[in-house]
Structure 1
Amino acid sequence: MRVSGGSTGGTPSGGDGRDRSDPQAFKRGRKVGQTVRGRLLAPGPQGLFWVNLAGHKLLAALDHEPSLGRELVFRIERLEPELLLRDITPPPSAVDDPALLLAALADARSRFEAVLHRGPPLFAETGAAGPNAPLAPLAARKRLFDWLASTPEAAGLYGRLRELLRLARAFLPVQAGRPVYLPWAFPGLDASEGLVTRSGRTFTLRLFGRLAEAGRVSGIFSLSMNRASYRLSLERPEAGEGLVAALTSVRLGHRELAPVCVHLGPLAPAESGGLFAPLIAGAARPFTGLRLRV
């Protein structure tokens, strides 16, 4: 979406009569990479559209015409010389249907990881975990976000994925925790899903994904101020000893704790589908106004 400035001959529906687009006012306090939300107000002149973006009424050129009044989600791609935003709005079906949301999440993650694998390595070891592989190291996280800042395609895909995770919260039980995606969690971990909960000073991270040497992996990490423990279930348990030896520390904020493995075993069938699917797929589908009996 490209935002235009100046006065025009069109007035947005529901407007106050002032038909001036002021992108400079919107730019103040904004930065590249930021996510903003808005709504389409009305068609404007010369094929442009009036949008309300974070409280600012702007005249914009859209790549497509969405439904009037529908929420839009954008990522700021460029502020100068002209304001350029990328549309990362999830498809309408993903907002309402848990099964379609799961499919959209999987597709967005696959697209992002295809680009991620072509980028620079996040870890010192480019393949399997090395002799020292802390969980969620700050250095890997910084490398990821530095790369996103310089790679608009990846940043747009990552933004869309995060927006879908935000929508997923509506389908998850509150006690399940906050859904997260942590591509920097562990060397070689793909298709990861995470759920974070907090009780007092204790954080719990449930993590699921795939490792080349271990197959599907499910882990539960409990972190407090002075101790860390974890449970691991692996599709290929024979890889477990190597993972335990490599997992030398777990990060809690800016601190690193030495974790203790309290369980290591095979992946149960109930765990093989990941974290999100059993929870989200169990949510009721929205009523469409039509009931069929066959």
Structure 2
Amino acid sequence: MRVSDKQSGNGRSQNGRDRSDPEAFRWGRKAGQVVRGRLAGPGPHGLYWVVVAGHRLLARLEHEPASGRELIFRIERLEPELLLKDITPPPSSRSDPALFLSALTEARSRFEHRLADDAPPSAPPLDLTGARRRFLAWLTADPAARADFDAVAALCAVAGDFLPRTEGRLAYVPWVFPGLAQSELLAARLSAGQGGPAWTLRVFGRLAGEGLVAVLASWRPGRAACRLMLERMDAAEAVTAVLSRVRFGRAVLAPAWLSVGPLPAEYASGFVARLLAGSGRPFTGLRLRV
């Protein structure tokens, strides 16, 4: 960015907030030094206020800015004009929610290309313990599949940087329901102070014939309950039949169906995408000419 000596209005205000003062910034600094800054907001004459190392500067930006984001600059030169170059690291799946979601979708797709077509589900109970055991045995026998699965698991671990703890922990469970693609599981444990002991589970994914499905389940000692939301309501009978009894460990659960209804539009991209929709995205890649 290039720093301007222009003032807004008719001069400097009493608190000095309307004046760009590159001379004060130059004092004691040299080319090559790295400084931190942020965009403060729009200024006069198409310029923008930028706070760098505590100094408020009026700058001409080469890209559209986003106010309030922290940026890292290297001083390119101090004379005849002050020139700072933005060297903020580019956003990544560990820092940008949109890139994280894209990477997660791509990683799941890459892994699911390795999965064989699932046979139709057997008669209830749906054996989750057996399905998980067979899935892990298959991964052990196929190192390439294991590597792709581990890549998805690593991204799920990153989700904790974006999702509120109260929303639960994200897991990838392709074995949880036959044929469920792009699956996501959010699991949260409720303590005694939260009305527990109990667990809440939210499962989302796509079935080849039935379309998008979402299950909201809760478990308390002696009771399991579910809410089912479907893209295609004509698939409700088939899906509820498979889930009518579920084996987990030695227990066989028969969940009570609290509701079965259409999938709301806001859940069409899954639970995680909806939660990330409100996350702020870092702005990078800015070159400032002051």
Q: TM-score, normalised by structure 1?
A: 0.61
Task: Please give the secondary structure, in 2, of the residue aligned with 1:93.
Answer: coil
CA distance in 2, matches of 1:267, 1:286: 31
DSSP-derived class of the 2:206 partner: strand
State the Cα deviation string for residues 225-260 of structure 1 (Å, max 9, x = none): 101110001111111112212213235554221111
**Correspondences of 1:7-22 after superposition (within 5 Å):** none
Change (3 A) 1:130 1:251: closer
Alignment of 1:1-294 (within 5 A): 93-117=92-116, 126-127=119-120, 129-134=121-126, 137-199=128-190, 200-251=196-247, 254-288=250-284, 290=286
Matched residues in 1 for 2:286 and 2:208: separation? 46
2:160 maps to amino acid: R
> Residue 94 of structure 2: SS of its match in structure 1?
helix
Q: Is the 8 A contact 2:125 2:252 kept in 1?
A: no
Conserved? CA contact 1:182–1:193, under 8 Å: yes
SS of 2:123's equivalent in the other structure is coil
Residue type of the alignment partner of 1:215:
G
- Tell me whether 153-162 or 195-204 shows the greater mean CA deviation: 195-204
Report how many residues are paired. Answer: 194
CA distance in 1, matches of 2:237, 2:158: 37
Partner residue in 1 for 2:69: none
SS in 2 for 1:154: helix
1:117 deviates by 2.3
CA RMSD, Structure 1 to Structure 2 (Å): 2.2
Question: In the superposition, relative to structure 1, how do residues 133 and 223 fare at CA in structure 2: closer, same or farther (>3 Å)?
Answer: same
Does the Cα contact within 8 Å between 2:91 and 2:282 map onto a contact in 1?
no
Cα deviation 1:61-92 (Å, max 9, x = unaligned): xxxxxxxxxxxxxxxxxxxxxxxxxxxxxx97
Letter of the 1:193 counterpart: E
* Change beyond 3 A, Cα 1:276–1:291: farther
TM-score of the superposed pair, with normalisation by structure 2: 0.62
The 2-side partners of 1:227 and 1:177 are apart by 20
Identity in percent: 45
Deviation string, structure 1 residues 254-276 (Cα, Å, up to 9, x no partner): 42211111101111111111111
Could you tell me how far 1:221 is from its partner in structure 2? 0.8
1:115 aligned counterpart, secondary structure:
coil
Structure 1 position 133, deviation (Å): 4.8
Structure 1 residues 291 and 238 mapped into 2: Cα distance closer, same or farther (>3 Å)? farther
Quick one: distance in 1 between partners of 2:262 and 2:240? 14
Indicate the structure (1 or 2) with the bigger Cα radius of gyration.
2
User: Using a 3 Å threshold, how does the CA distance of structure 1 residues 262 and 153 change in structure 2: closer, same or farther?
Assistant: same
Which residue of structure 2 aligns with residue 79 of structure 1?
none
In structure 2, distance between residues paired with 1:198 and 1:291: 46
Q: Is the 8 A contact 1:228 1:250 kept in 2?
A: no
How many Å separate the matches in 2 of 1:151 and 1:268? Answer: 38
Q: Tell me: higher relative CO, structure 1 or 2? Use CA pairs within 8 A at least 6 residues apart.
A: 2
